[in-house]
């Protein structure tokens, strides 16, 4: 039994659909396969919390932020970095360096998690870290002046 849903994804070259689920299956989309992962698979993705990210910022560490939200979401709030929307990530891997840590973020951490799984499996990235809780957690815990949406 599959639990979850499939939702049309706007302006996507990555896949025709954005997929979320708690089941582990493979389903063909645009000649690629999207794997839906259970909670047990979360250990495949390294993460940082917002306090760790803030410390990296304050210490001037060498890292990059990859924001996988849509451009209209960045207009509401942003932490800077490079914008590579999830739906276009497979066409923009040249913007994601392999030689330094990359903190991948979205609104809540779900799209960034999917992006990291995809990049690890399809392009063998090893330097990616999911921002746990996304920009919502950053606004809630670090910068309360940042608008929530």
On whether the CB atoms of residues 65 and 79 are closer than 8 A, the answer is yes
Do residues 102 and 130 make contact, with C-beta atoms less than 8 angstroms apart? no
Catalytic annotation, residues: 106
What is the helix, strand, coil percentage profile of the chain, to 5? 35, 25, 40
| Torsion angle, alpha carbons of 117, 99, 30, 83, to 10 | 90
- Please calculate the CA angle 95-135-115 and round it to the nearest 5 degrees: 40
């Amino acid at each position: 039994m599959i639990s979850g849903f499939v939702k049309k994804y706007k302006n996507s070259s990555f896949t025709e659909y954005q997929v979320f689920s708690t089941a582990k299956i493979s389903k063909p989309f645009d000649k690629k396969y999207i794997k839906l992962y259970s909670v047990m698979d979360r250990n495949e993705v390294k993460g940082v919390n917002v306090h760790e990210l803030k410390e990296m910022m304050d210490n001037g560490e060498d890292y990059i932020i990859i924001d996988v939200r849509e451009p209209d979401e960045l207009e509401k709030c942003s932490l800077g970095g490079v914008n590579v929307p999830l739906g276009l990530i497979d066409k923009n891997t040249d913007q994601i360096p392999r030689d330094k840590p990359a903190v991948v973020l979205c609104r809540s951490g779900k799209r960034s998690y999917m992006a990291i799984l995809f990049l690890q499996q399809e392009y063998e990235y090893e330097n990616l870290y999911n921002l746990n809780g996304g920009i919502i957690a950053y606004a809630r815990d670090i910068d309360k002046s940042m608008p929530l949406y």
